[in-house]
Structure formats: structure tokens, C-alpha cells
Amino acid sequence: MTIANPASRDGQPRGPYKRGIERRRQVVVTATDVFGEFGFRGGTLQQVADRVGGTPAAILKLFGSKERLLIAVLDHWGSVTGEIVARGTEERAFLDGFVELMNYHVNHKGLLQLYTTMAAEASTPQHPAHEFMTNRYRRTLESMRNGFRAASEGGHFRRLSEKQIAHEAEYLLAILDGLEIQFILNPAFDLETSFAAYVDTVYERLAV
């Protein structure tokens, strides 16, 4: 019998534990592709298992349920998109990172569709992703408020009250979600140009 070894002395996971983490990561990345392509209901554990090598039962054992795998997928997607947004922070104000993000979305439409559907569906407290989504929205709004506050204090934007900051964050998140819905319903819609033009109106409106 092998005993899992959570962390060795240098703090790096090793052995079966490390392989477990790596295996989870593989499954999540693959499931991201499958759900992104076929949707949550359309995509099956069998498809994920076929691509990653293994059985649906083994995947269920790793994640507990298809719903929990979905949450891991959304979490993974949240990290990827979060990194893209963060890359934008270094130049100009933080809004440019979101322009980058739209480019990513256009190239990962299936996931966007999955995420947007999930956001609306998960509003019922019984939904498996309810807590994940409400937390994600809360944290996203908070981080957007921080962005507007920093841009205001840093002199990129004019002085904004906390109420104005809260509203700007709400509008930014709403515009992102709303334009994304328009894009998934109409692939001809130019999401990147439309959002970039919105960011211009924000810069104009909040100019010092």
C-alpha cells in the first residue's frame, strides 16, 4: 500500500500525490476543451475519458461528480483569463487587460458560451456552481473596484467617489458579460472592436 506524501521537505509535492495533481490538471484541461466544444450537458465524461486516456469512473473518482469537474473547469478558465487581464495592468490603466481578454474569448467561444450560460443558470441556490459563481462575481467586482480606485488615485482617472467606483465596476462587468452574450448569439458581432470603443468612452468620461 502506498501512502500519499503531500509535501516533501523542499515543499514540492512528490510521488503519488504529485502524480495525482498532474492527473487532475490533465483532466481539467481536457474537460475544458470538451465542455467548451459541446457544452456542459452535451459534453460527456466518456469523451473526456477517451481524450485523456482512462474511464469515466476513474474521472468521477477524482472529482466526485460531473458538476465538480465543471467547477474545476470554470476555476481553471478563471485563472487563465485572470492572467490575461493582469498582463494588461502593467501598461496604461488596467482596462487594457480586458481588451486583451476579448481577443482570448473570440478564440475560445465554446468556453465563453459555457461560462455565460453557467453564470445565469447558477443563480438558483440549488445549482452545483451557485457558490462558485456568486463568489466569482463578488471577487471580480471587488478587483474591478480596486482597479478603478487605483487608476483614480494614480491620476489616470479623475477623482472618483466610492459610489462612482462601485458603479464603474458594475458597468464594466456588465458590458463584458453583455457584449459576450451578443457575440455568442451572433458570431459576426465584432466583440473586440465594440469593447475597445467602450473602454475609450470610459477613458473619456473619467479623464482628469
Residue numbers at the binding site for its own copies (CB under 8 A): 39, 42, 113, 116-117, 119-124, 133-134, 137-138, 141, 167, 170-171, 173-179, 181-182, 184-186, 189, 194, 197-198, 201, 204-205
Contact 198, 175 (CB under 8 A): yes
Nearest to 93, CA basis, from 139, 152, 141 = 152
Contact 112, 132 (CB under 8 A): no
Nearer to its own copies, 27 or 133 (CB): 133
C-alpha grid cell, residue 27 = 483532466
Nearer to its own copies, 52 or 172 (CB): 172
Nearer to its own copies, 57 or 185 (CB): 185
Nearer to its own copies, 93 or 179 (CB): 179
Minimum Å gap between C-beta 198 and its own copies is 6
- CA–chain centroid gap for 93, Å, is 21
Minimum Å gap between C-beta 34 and its own copies is 14
3-state percent helix, strand, coil for the chain, nearest multiple of 5: 75, 0, 25
Nearer to its own copies, 9 or 41 (CB): 41
Minimum Å gap between C-beta 117 and its own copies is 4
**Cα–Cα distance for residue pair 129/121, rounded to 1 Å:** 9
Nearer to its own copies, 26 or 143 (CB): 143
Minimum Å gap between C-beta 24 and its own copies is 27
**Cα–Cα distance for residue pair 84/144, rounded to 1 Å:** 14
Minimum Å gap between C-beta 175 and its own copies is 5
Which pairs with CB-CB distance under 8 Å and at least 24 residues apart come from 118-123?
118/40, 118/70, 118/74, 119/177
C-alpha grid cell, residue 121 = 443558470
Interacting residues of 53 by C-beta distance below 8 A, sequence separation 6+ = none
Minimum Å gap between C-beta 116 and its own copies is 4
